[in-house]
A = this chain, B = another copy of it.
Amino acid sequence: MAKLDFSPIADTTRRAEIVALLRRAILTGQLEPGQKLNELRISEQMRVSRAPLREAMRELVQEGILTSIPYAGTFVIEVTAKDIIDAYSLNQVLDEFAIERTWPLRDQRFFDELDRRHEAVKQATRAVDTTRQIETALQLHGLIYEWADNSVLLETWQRLTSRLQMYFALHQRARNEPVPAVDVHETYVALLKGADMRAAQRHAREHIDLDFEELLAYARGLEKRASKN
């Protein structure tokens, strides 16, 4: 029998589709931080009943991008400068760990996948599709987590990614100028292919720093705006 690994068939529940829809709306910034999710309104828009919608919302609450107050409502999480700093500093630690674990497991398939994802980022950059640019950049970055062969680490990263994606998307929406079209991932990819693990770990920090500085500036702006209310 031919060795064929089929991918698992799609979740065919409404719930799963609702989760995907809502997540996308939140992570792209269509639903703004602090915004309330009205169950009746959304369920009517999606043409589903409230039951699967509510179950989907529970999932996203646990995923950390929604927050729920009993009898009051479910809201998109607020974004504070501290949240971003916290997420970022944890990300640094996890990156180091992921690189360490992935390092001895790198093989041709890893390098190929690395190139593939790098290419996807470049393509999104050329197309000036900022949402997709963020998505692909995070996917490129996530490869070391997928390769690290640690399911708990991967889960943690995926949760963290949700937030990071949201932060970056908000940042992008806030500033209306187009994103610089330079490729900031070139060195990162090269180092992951190289022989110096420490150098790769060091760069992972500094590399993110670039985007992070801007992100922080954005968050500080939010803080100020919030304190005025």
Q: Is A70 within 8 A of B156, CB to CB?
A: no
* Residue A51 at the chain B interface, CB threshold 8 Å: yes
Number of interface residues of A (CB under 8 A): 33
In chain A, positions 148-162 with a C-beta closer than 8 Å to chain B are 150-153, 155-156, 159-160
List, in ascending order, chain B residues with CB within 8 A of A13's CB. Answer: 70-71
CA A12 – CA B152 in complex, angstroms?
A: 32
| Copies of this chain in its oligomeric complex | 2
CA A86 – CA B50 in complex, angstroms?
A: 38
CA A157 – CA B83 in complex, angstroms?
A: 16
List, in ascending order, chain B residues with CB within 8 A of A156's CB. Answer: 90, 156, 159
Task: Give a binary string over A139-153; 1 marks a CB under 8 Å from any B CB, 0 the rest.
Answer: 000000000001111
Which of A59-67, A110-118, A119-127 is near enough to bind chain B?
A59-67
- Further 18 A-B residue pairs, CB within 8 A, beyond A13-B70, A55-B55, A64-B155: A13-B71, A51-B51, A55-B58, A58-B59, A59-B59, A59-B62, A62-B62, A83-B151, A86-B152, A90-B97, A90-B152, A90-B156, A93-B93, A93-B94, A93-B97, A155-B159, A156-B156, A159-B159
A residues in contact (CB < 8 Å) with B: 11-13, 16, 51, 54-55, 58-59, 61-64, 70-71, 82-83, 86-87, 89-90, 93-94, 97, 150-153, 155-156, 159-160, 163
